[in-house]
Structure 1
Amino acid sequence: MVIRKSTGAAAAALILVSASPAHAAGDPAMCNADGIPAVLSPAAALFDARAAWLDRRSLVWPAAPEGIYRLYHSTTAGIVAQAGTPVRGADGALPLAATATAIPAAFAWLGKGPVLMLGAADESRIGTLHKGQLVLVREDAQGKVLDATHVQVAGALDDLYATAERLADLGATPAQGRTGFKIWAPTARNVALCTYDSGTAPARAATPMRFDAATGVWSATVPANLSGKYFKYAVDVYANGSGIVRNLVTDPYAVSLTTDSRRAYIADLADPRLRPAGWERDAPPANKVQAQPDMSIYELHVRDFSVNDATVSAANRGKYTAFTEKTSDGMRHLAALSRAGLTDVHLLPVYDIATVPESGCAVPDTARLRALAPDSDVQQQLTGLTRQTDCYNWGYDPYHYSAPEGSYSTDAADGAKRIVEFRQMVMALHGIGLRVGMDVVYNHTFAGGQDGKSVLDRIVPGYYHRLDAKGAIERSTCCDNTATEHRMMGKLMIDSAELWTKHYHIDSFRFDLMGHQPRATMEALQRRVDAAAGRHVNLIGEGWNFGEVANGARFVQASQLSLNGSGIGTFSDRGRDAVRGGGAGDAGNDMLARQGYVNGLFYAPNGSAMQTKEQLMKAADLVKVSLAGAVRGYPLTTYTGAVRKLEDIDYGGQPAGYAAAPGETVNYVENHDNQTLYDLNAFRLPLATSAADRARVQMLAAAINTFSQGVAYFHAGFDILRSKSLDRNSFESGDWFNRLDWTYRDNYFGTGLPPAADNGKDYALMRPLLANAALKPAPADIAFARDTFRDLLKIRAGSTLFRLRTAQDVAQRLRFHNTGPAQVPTVIAAQLDGSGYPGAAYRSIVYLINVDKVERKIAVPQEARRPYALHPVQRAANAGDPRAAQAQYDRDTGTFTVPARTAVVFVEALPRN
């Protein structure tokens, strides 16, 4: 995810103007008023929403005292409810009876209050009344207002229109001789379909749509196959505070769009004309991932991949089609990783993004940027000038969940082009043996309410987003949180994931802030995508526990501590923080003081803080937690000598072990968020550490991640010492601070102070580092990291012992040596028992990771007399790390000698038959 500081001009408040006169529902002129909606009937007032519907007939008003309650309704949004006076401007009122009914668990977060019930005679009217303004009023005996509130609608709509959850044809469905359109808009008063011949042509027709009271769906059928045309909907709906408005909107189920998402594209994704040659034969590489722990993932941004690659043709740089250029430096790099054992490329968001212009990209003068000093602040000033127009963003600003992003297409104006080119990208990656994963962000939208880039809330106001106790949209994720616990928002997420699986051959998904979604919804999604693919689709995500849903406040979350047993993986911060030190949000002196296991904690202090041997040994224990896959029941001999299950070891007030199986843990030390590890090490390693040793430290972290049970996850460029010139949040820092160099000559450390908005307060710390040429790696250092990383992938891929399937496997086959109070805390020593294990390749494996600045000897007497030899990959003539070949094993004493800052693997061959 990205912590967003600002959303730019696109999120500015929308000014509503009256339509004069309002166009009739069938008038094509109404379809050409892109942008500002018409106010058909302005609201008399904006009400908060302190009450909530529980179902179609009952509602709750938390903390409200006893009184006389009425539900007032108005078709013109004219209700005035001022304290001390009778209600004015209503068409009528429905009496409500207070009951002793218990508040359902799903609404317990609201707090206690009277449950109010409609009379049985009014129940049949309530669906229609939801199409206008509804205000809940508490009155005195004389009918004067004591208090008034709007009512949150989700509970009623989910009950009234539950059957809509089973619909399979929302959106546009072209067929021979006809095209059907369906949109779920149960509170809309009227909906008209607007169709266009192109992305810029005036409307060809405005077709009134029909309402189905059973499902809440509006539908229309046009007697022609409109494939290749475009459409929008004109939705007349009540919006609290705005009145009755006519919103001209795209479709939440849009499968493609025109430039900048102005109109939705009509397409049958099964149409042969949208299939690149060979698409019907496309499939992920066979048997590369047979179980979730087999996954090793490279997280990659589409634009980063090729925009800086001179071996890619100019027209394809930064585009989906760059992946089709098989001989480019970037594709050669990915192919080499695939051959080494990498299984998946996970693409940062590639659905339609709200904050990326899809044409006319403006970029700063790179020649001028290159000429500036390494610690200058001018680079960030120049890139800041084009921040909103440079077509760069990570993409955590969802606009349309099921349409490919247009800025990555060679022609954003053509709705078909992005579909075909996305598929070409998938085929190209499959062709070099890599599966394709998507980073998806269903936990929020870029905008809500009547904002011009709001889709969901302008169709069914107040439904799709999670609201607080006063009816405001929650924003704990950074932006407008969606409510995937509501039937139709959960359905939208599941339908979208199914579409990407079925029509784009996506093999795995990474869910941003997955802990904001219900576990039950994620499990339903798992079943649906598996069925769509005809095989298991791997799901991983961020299981952080925070915000309004924290600790199960609204539902059982898809979070670290709540997903165990589901088979869905979550990112583990246990090993991450222990390995690199500190936490995800470190700033200021903490970036210096909070050293970690690989960058000097206690054994190589940088002088910024007092550190103890006990802290180092605690970090070593957490590294072992990671190496054991963070499985709950694994027994670890801790630094005190006590044997404790991982779930009984403390990690910041949480259990260090949280997973039921290793595949539920995603191990990482760096991803798109925060500084790269190379940049963190610029702060945390002692200043005198050589560039060669900095590369070694990076590969120590890689070894820990590669040898850890569970999923191995790496940020693109981690293997070539990627730097973002110390930028802690490069989500909109442009190409300059996000570059990758597939020629291996530069890692881009020291290319200017990073953008001031997120980094300015630490410029005093950054300037001397960026100006220090000794901190910048030479091409030889980058090559060392590249080749060593590939060797680590080969070692992991070569034995299932690094990819154990079950918690029982981990408990039975993984054993740590060099533990307890007498340990050498700078060395991890572990043994993997391969006896009888499918795919083990060896009878036994011993790996050792020495993070110290000096050689270390580790005696393991119980391993004496066993015929261990250095792993074939590490003893090969072309091994990436020549120092590893200096490691020794004394068979007589069971003593291993490990060179400084080196990870080594010893293997015992299987007995010959």
Structure 2
Amino acid sequence: MSDFKQLEHTTYPTYEGDDLGLTYTPAGSLFKVWAPPAEQVRVVLYDDAGVYDQDGIVQEHDGGREFPMCCDNRGVWSAELEGDWNRYYYMYRLEWADGTVHYAADPYATAVSANGQRTAIIDLAHTNPDGWKEDTGPALERPTDAIIYELHVRDFSMAPHFNTGEKDFSDVQGRFAAFTYSGLKDTAGNSIGLDHLLELGITHIHLLPVADFHTVNDLAASETKYNWGYDPQHYNVPEGSYSSNPADPGTRIRELKQLVQSLHTAGMGVILDVVYNHTYSVEKGPFEPVVPGYYYRTDEQGQLSNGSGVGNEVATERPMVRKYIKDSLRYWAEEYHIDGFRFDLMGLIDTPTVVQLTQELRAEVRPDLLIYGEPWTGGESPQPLLTLKGTQRDKGFAVFNDNYRSAIKGDSDGTASGFATGAWDQEEQVLKGAFGAIHDFTSQPSESINYVTAHDNLNLWDKILTVRHLREYCGFPQWEKGKPRDGRTAEQAIAEADPYRELAKQDLLENETVRKSLLANGMVLTSQGIPFIHAGDELLRSKYGDHNSYRSADVVNAIRWENKARFRPVFDYYKGLIALRRSHPAFRMEERELVEQHMEVLQSSGHVVAFALRHHANGDAWNHIMVIYNGSDTEQTVLLPAESDRWHVVVDAHGAGNETRYEVAGQRVTVSRWSMMVLHDQEESAQVSCLMEQDQETGEAKHIREGTGGTSENKEA
């Protein structure tokens, strides 16, 4: 196929229809594939999934029933077959001008056999769980109302402590189905699993990629390889290894829908991590066998460019690639009721494509879809319209704020510190983040995803230990390619390490590492923008110093549910911060004008940042709210605004929430080292004010009442 790679792709016709792939009905099936350079295409039907070799691959696709396809002037080959072909499999047999023949799965596949070897024909209606038509995710009034929790499907349930209670849950561990069980508790009576997420109070679960990926063999259950899923194979099909029966194409679809339905029933939205910037393989990927040379960017020498850092990058700016991405997103949103999308290496997706997909999905599918991504690349790209920080201004989507991330914690994997981990020169950068980056790279705070750690790099606990030079003290191994360098197994190394060696249970909230971790995410949760938390931070999660655990063992990655009982005060602190944010719109201002009107800097020096949210900001019931971050190693005395002489403390070093912990009289307050404080001056609701608006038609004045009403639930301690 190398000769065809040199064809000028700009001469290819394009297709705007919405029926590429398979259209199934019991009366017949319509197959359509866009393949302009092919000389002949046939759809080949099979009774079964084929013969697998020891690696889980089907090497031969001969022997099926072949049906010729016709090509129209837009490069679309089609064939319509009468009868009910449900539960059959198919491939496309493409023949090129030089006589070369290649079998390819449908790039628009929505169901596949194990390991994605053949495309499956199924009736999607039969994959819907009971009540699916009524299923819907939580509505967002504004993007800043979201509190995002990033989670890997397998991590959620692989620890032994997930399998507690009277029932045996071993058959669902590491799978979609684990999200459908409620009522799970640890031996101390703490809620774990789904109920833990509900108790924590987050609004959206961001799932690391669940679309079918390449590197895990669905059929090798006893030798399951771990992966995050950033090695895409079939973009519109759920991953088989997360299914209870990957050999049945419909099971993985039904079980992912059940996961979504379960989270929706619990009041949480579902965000999918999508990877349209590259594919795991070019020759064995979903695109190259069908339209060689079209779907990938090349440099001036005609070689594959590598902006992803993994060998290729998808040419999102080309019409049919752009269409594919938009069609795929629409399919996930409509068929699976997905509430938002996070784009891996969004920087590599040209900005016009991101703008188009945002506008079209919001206008035609759901107006409150969350759309955000990483505004960077993994290498140099020839694409001139990279979606980097700043390109999102006023375009309706958000990007990760790595400026704020670095200001809070320092570098990602080393000993460099940030505001919350010891640096003394980050106050101004912290303020930029706290203001939703409106004085940095955003037009509105809703364009900034605020976070301190994610699945990449050291997680928060391990990062702070690294800054404090405690890795050796805790017994962390040196990691290389997912294994300890010294030859031990991951299990052995972790059994001999203790990331909590310095902790004394009775002094948990006095510990320096604990306090710095609470301060770091406390800053995220009380800043303007959209907060994002890495799963397990609320349990002081450690990956034992493994900064890139995408292929490491479960013993490294699994959420350790036993830590909830051990570190319950930390969980309660996170829960309280989240409840505070959800209860008070002052922390969730969506528009720049509101931030500039209501937010005022009070101090930005001496490793202290303090600001006020004034005058019932964003309709908040509290009049003046004061937020103080103390990143220093000594307690600090901070001046309070002169408007009030009595303040209610709702967050300090020892607890967080909506309830008044104690009151402060006068104009000064002392904030403990490595901690934060939130105070407010009035409990009563916002006063109702009257504005005059002239009715231009009648000339009569009419009154418009503004205010939120309601009363505070806080009580004096």
TM-score range, shorter-chain basis? 0.7 to 0.9
Which amino acid is the alignment partner of residue 105 of structure 2? Answer: T
Equivalent in the alignment of 1:298: 149
Contact 2:179 2:194 in 1 (8 A): no
Q: Is the 8 A contact 1:869 1:908 kept in 2?
A: yes
Q: Distance in 2 between matches of 1:337 and 1:478?
A: 34
Distance 1:196 1:323 in 2: 34
The 1:417/1:817 distance shift into structure 2, 3 A limit, reads same
Q: 551, 554, 561: which one pairs with 2:383?
A: 554
Residue 493 of structure 2 corresponds to none
Q: What is residue 178 of structure 1 aligned with on the other side?
A: 28
- Residue 233 of structure 1 contacts residue 249 of structure 1 at CA under 8 Å; is this kept in 2? yes
Answer yes or no: is 1:815 the counterpart of 2:600: yes
Give 1:865 deviation, angstroms. Answer: 3.0
Matched, 1:347 2:233: no
Question: Cα offset for 1:902?
Answer: 2.2
Q: How does 1:777-788 map to 2 (within 5 A)?
A: 780=566, 782-788=567-573
* Offset of residue 910 of structure 1: 5.3
Whole-angstrom distance in 1 between the partners of 2:460 and 2:118:
42
Whether 1:895 and 2:684 are equivalent positions in the alignment is no
User: How far apart are residue 229 of structure 1 and its match?
Assistant: 1.6
Partner of 1:599: 421
- In the aligned structure 2, how far is the partner of 1:329 from the partner of 1:245? 59
One-letter amino acid of the structure 1 residue matched with residue 451 of structure 2: Y
Paired residue total: 629
**Amino acid paired to 2:557:** N
> What does 1:255-334 align with in structure 2 at a 5 Å threshold?
255-269=110-124, 271=125, 273-285=126-138, 287=139, 289-308=140-159, 309-311=162-164, 313-329=169-185, 332-334=192-194
* Matching residue within 231, 234, 238 for 2:90: 231
Q: Is the 8 A contact 1:511 1:542 kept in 2?
A: yes
Q: Would the aligned equivalents of 2:577 and 2:656 in 1 still touch at CA under 8 Å? A: no
Corresponding residue of 1:91: none
CA contact (8 A) 2:308 2:377 kept: no
Mapped contact 2:375–2:389 kept (Cα < 8 A): yes
Aligned partner of 1:869 in structure 2 is 648
Task: Give the structure 2 partner of residue 254 of structure 1.
Answer: 109
Whether the aligned pair in 1 keeps the contact of 2:644 and 2:681 (CA below 8 Å) is: no
Identity, % of aligned positions: 31
Is 1:622 aligned to 2:429, yes or no?
yes
User: Hey, what's the Cα distance between the residues in 1 that align with 2:377 and 2:238?
Assistant: 30
C-alpha distance 903-297 of structure 1, shift in aligned 2 (>3 A): same
Change (3 A) 1:336 1:868: farther
Contact 2:206 2:271 in 1 (8 A): yes
Counterpart for residue 704 of structure 2: none
Amino acid at match of 1:835: H
TM-score by length of 1: 0.66
In structure 2, the CA distance between the partners of 1:669 and 1:249, relative to structure 1 (3 Å rule), is same
Q: Among residues 460, 465, 487, which one is paired with 2:291 in the alignment?
A: 460
How far 1:279 moved relative to its partner? 0.7
Residues 1:545 and 1:233: Cα distance change in structure 2 (over 3 Å):
closer
Q: Aligned partner of 1:250: which letter?
A: A
Q: CA deviation at 1:292?
A: 0.9
Residue in 2 that maps onto 1:147: none
**Shift in CA distance, 432/203, structure 1 to aligned 2, threshold 3 Å:** farther
Aligned-pair CA distance for 1:268? 4.2
Q: 1-side partners of 2:364 and 2:334: how far apart? A: 5
- Looking at structure 1, the residues matched to 502 and 23 of structure 2 have their Cα atoms a distance apart, in angstroms, of 61
Q: What residue is the counterpart of 1:64 in the other structure?
A: none
Q: State the 1:463 CA deviation.
A: 0.3
- SS where residue 576 of structure 2 aligns? helix
Calculate the aligned-residue CA RMSD, in Å: 2.4
User: Normalising by the residue count of structure 2, what TM-score does the alignment of the two structures yield?
Assistant: 0.83
Q: 2:238 aligns with which of 387, 397, 404?
A: 404
Q: How big is each residue's C-alpha offset from its partner over 1:204-239, in whole Å with a ceiling of 9 and x where there is no partner? A: 511111111x2101111111121222111111136x
Aligned equivalents of 2:277, 2:443: Cα separation in 1: 25
Structure 1's 204 and 414: CA in aligned 2 closer, same or farther, altered over 3 A? same
Verify: 1:676 aligned to 2:463, yes or no: no
The residue that corresponds to 1:434 in the other structure is 268
What is the CA distance between 1:900 and its match in structure 2?
2.2
Contact map agreement 1:661 1:805 (CA 8 A) in 2:
yes
- How far apart, in 1, do the equivalents of 2:609 and 2:31 lie? 61
- Per-residue CA deviation, residues 294-342 of structure 1 (Å, 9 max, x unaligned), is 1111111101111222136111111111111112359745434434531
CA distance in 2, matches of 1:685, 1:329: 34
Q: Any residues of structure 2 matched to 1:383-422 within 5 Å, and which?
A: 389-422=223-256
Matched, 1:845 2:625: yes
Displacement, 1:538? 1.0
Q: How does 1:59-78 map to 2 (within 5 A)?
A: none
Q: Distance in 2 between matches of 1:743 and 1:203?
A: 53
Letter in 2 for 1:676: N
CA distance in structure 2 between the aligned counterparts of 1:886 and 1:505, rounded to whole angstroms: 41
2:526 matches 1:526: no
Out of 507, 531, 538, the residue aligned to residue 719 of structure 1 is 538
C-alpha contact 2:646 2:664 (8 A) present in aligned 1: no
Contact map agreement 1:233 1:251 (CA 8 A) in 2: yes
1:54-94 Cα offsets, whole Å, 9 max, x none, are xxxxxxxxxxxxxxxxxxxxxxxxxxxxxxxxxxxxxxxxx
Q: What is the distance in 2 between the residues matched to 1:446 and 1:329?
A: 39
Per the TM alignment, residue 811 of structure 1 is displaced from its structure 2 partner at its CA by 1.0
Contact 1:695–1:784 (Cα < 8 Å) also in 2? no
Partners in 2 of 1:505 and 1:491 — Cα distance? 20
- Provide the C-alpha distance between the structure 2 equivalents of 1:314 and 1:341, rounded to a whole number of angstroms: 27
Matching residue of 1:610? none
Quote the Cα distance in structure 1 between the aligned partners of 2:660 and 2:100.
73
Say which SS state the counterpart of residue 593 (structure 2) adopts: helix
- Relative distance call for 1:538 and 1:739 in structure 2 (3 A) is same
Matches within 5 A, 1:50-65: none
The range that moved more, 554-563 or 848-857, is 554-563
Deviations 1:246-300 (A, max 9, x none): 111101100011111111111343x2x2111111111113x4x211111111111
Give the 3-state SS of the residue equivalent to 2:520 in structure 1: helix
Post-superposition CA distance 1:665-714 (Å, at most 9, x none): 00111000001111111111265995332111110001111011111011
C-alpha displacement of 1:200? 3.0
Contact 2:594 2:617 in 1 (8 A): no
Deviation at 1:899, TM superposition (A): 1.8
Q: How does 1:87-236 map to 2 (within 5 A)?
A: 133=3, 151=6, 153-157=8-12, 161-162=13-14, 164=15, 166-200=16-50, 203-212=63-72, 214-236=73-95
Q: Give the superposition deviation at 1:851.
A: 2.2
Correspondent of 1:478 among 295, 305, 309: 309
Q: Summarize deviations over 1:493-535 as a string: whole Å, max 9, x none.
A: 1100000000000001000011111222112212332245343
Measured after TM superposition, the shift of residue 427 of structure 1 is: 0.6
Match of 1:659 in 2: 442
Instruction: Write the deviation string for residues 437-464 of structure 1: whole angstroms up to 9, x where unpaired.
Output: 0000000011113xxx322011111000
The letter for the 1-side match of 2:145 is: D
CA distance in 2, matches of 1:847, 1:683: 28
Q: What secondary structure is seen at the aligned counterpart in 2 of 1:444?
A: coil
Task: Kindly state the Cα deviation for residue 812 of structure 1 after the two structures are TM-superposed.
Answer: 1.1
